[in-house]
Structure 1
Amino acid sequence: MNEKSTKENASNLPADKIIATVVLWLDEQCSQERWDLSDEQMCVLLGGITISTWNQWKETAHTSGSLQVDQETIDTLAMLVSIYKMIHLSAPTGFKYDFFKRPINDPIFNGKSAREFMLENNSFDDFLKVRNFFRSKVLI
């Protein structure tokens, strides 16, 4: 499936199905080879939800293919997807996951990786800083 048809299909899905897909995708991103996040750390990125809530979301998304959450959570999920996209667009081939975990030489990050920065500064505004930093690095 090409990128255009994927976008068209996603735009035709109900929001609860998209949310479920994003939650399951985020669970995959936790692996050591990708973002290297524990469930506890993912809960921090998702606004401080509990492990039981995270596990319930994953189970519901897996079994029913749909999930309903509040607007603030939807915004956070969208921001995490956007950060992923900006990192992948700005990273050299083969280093897309490494760029999330490597130190960043920029005053905003103070030598921390995006991963470390986001875990310590997990507000929406701080996530915007991460996204915008990587967006500014994208070569179009």
Structure 2
Amino acid sequence: MSLFSQTQKREIIMQHYLSPEFKRKMDDEHKIKKYGQACADYLEFNFDVVEGTIQNLYFDAKGCAFMVASTDLFIKLVQGKKIENVLQIIEKYEFLLKNGHCDDLEILGELAIFDNVIQHPNRYYCATMLSSALKEELNG
């Protein structure tokens, strides 16, 4: 069962697409660049690890509402968290997207709005663009 109505999902997606809180212009030469696998999405991001926590995670992007909103919501959820917690969140998030349900929806917060991505498989890559890239970086 979803934590959010369809109307709430649309409102949250549009809010984070039109006014993303963590979107910044990237000047740093150490930024990480990713290109969409299913469409023309483009993502740049950077972060620091300070005492085992994710800090200063920001992004710049051009892409669909699913990609921009999921990126912004993901950052909102993981900013300041321990790496091991971030990896657990990514695991649960990917499970939700692939299966349409998750035992611990509450741990995902507003990311749980993407529970219907299973019905739109091409959106999986949009909704996981940052989370999969960050997982790759953290597992190095």
What TM-score does the superposition give when structure 2 sets the normalisation length? 0.27
More helix by share: 1
**Structure of greater Rg:** 1
**TM-score scaled by length of structure 1:** 0.27
